[in-house]
Amino acid sequence: MSVTSAKEIPLNKYYKIVFLGSVRVGKTSLIRRILDLEHNHEYSPTIGVRFHNLDVQQEEDIQYFLQLWDVSGNDIYSDLIISLLRGVSVVVLVFDYMSKQSQNDFMQLYKKVCENVSPVQILLIGNKAENPKDKIPKNMASWVKEHELKIYPVSAKENIGRSLLLQSIIQIIENTPKSNSSTSIDVRVNSQSLE
């Protein structure tokens, strides 16, 4: 199998995947796990926007070129969010299971995205879950039920849910029902930063 350079692929072949959430919820760590990079235990906030090109080969003849956009959770960038969502294929909203503030911000961000981008495919992620079967935090339970949402608990630190996260993104792109079967994935990476 040959490695494809990001420069050889026309931009319209990419699927834009934007990760949103408050500061310190673990968006960068989740992306690093998807890219199969080591978890960085030292916190280094994202400044502005950083994106990574990811080539996902599924089965023999299905290939996806993903652009993973890591958007800073800093409030000074909140006005840019709607413009960054132009042309998005999937929005990955992330909250921290241990932070009530990030959970409250998450619910407001969900509303903002739904009001300003239509149609939009949203994947809801709860990071820093101690156990993949963790229940939805109490302050979010009724909101999740009211909106008939599903939140996937993951842990970037413990590398729990990486495959589920990537498969969920691909399945949303394919717009097919979830499958219980797992598929092997070959991944190639190219990263860039916009600050």
The string of DSSP codes covering 4-70 is PPGGGS-GGGEEEEEEEESTTSSHHHHHHHHTTPPP--S-----SEEEEEEEEEETTTEEEEEEEEE
Residue 102: what pLDDT? 93
Provide the 8-state DSSP code for 183. Answer: -
Residue 91: what pLDDT? 93
pLDDT band at 191 (very low <50, low <70, confident <90, very high): very low
Q: What is the 3-state secondary structure (H, E, C) of 65-112?
A: EEEEEEECCCHHHHHHHHHHCCCEEEEEEEEECCCHHHHHHHHHHHHH
Stated pTM of the model: 0.78
Lowest mean pLDDT among 65-69, 79-83, 105-109: 79-83
Residue in the structure block whose two tokens are 């960054």:
84
Residue 46: what pLDDT? 62
Cβ-based neighbour number of residue 120 at 10 Å: 14
Lowest mean pLDDT among 64-73, 96-105, 176-185: 176-185
Residue 93: what pLDDT? 93
pLDDT at 155 over 80: yes
pLDDT band at 163 (very low <50, low <70, confident <90, very high): confident
List domains and CATH numbers for the chain. 12-177 (3.40.50.300)
Mean pLDDT of 86-104: 92
Residue 148 neighbours by CB under 8 Å, 6+ apart: none
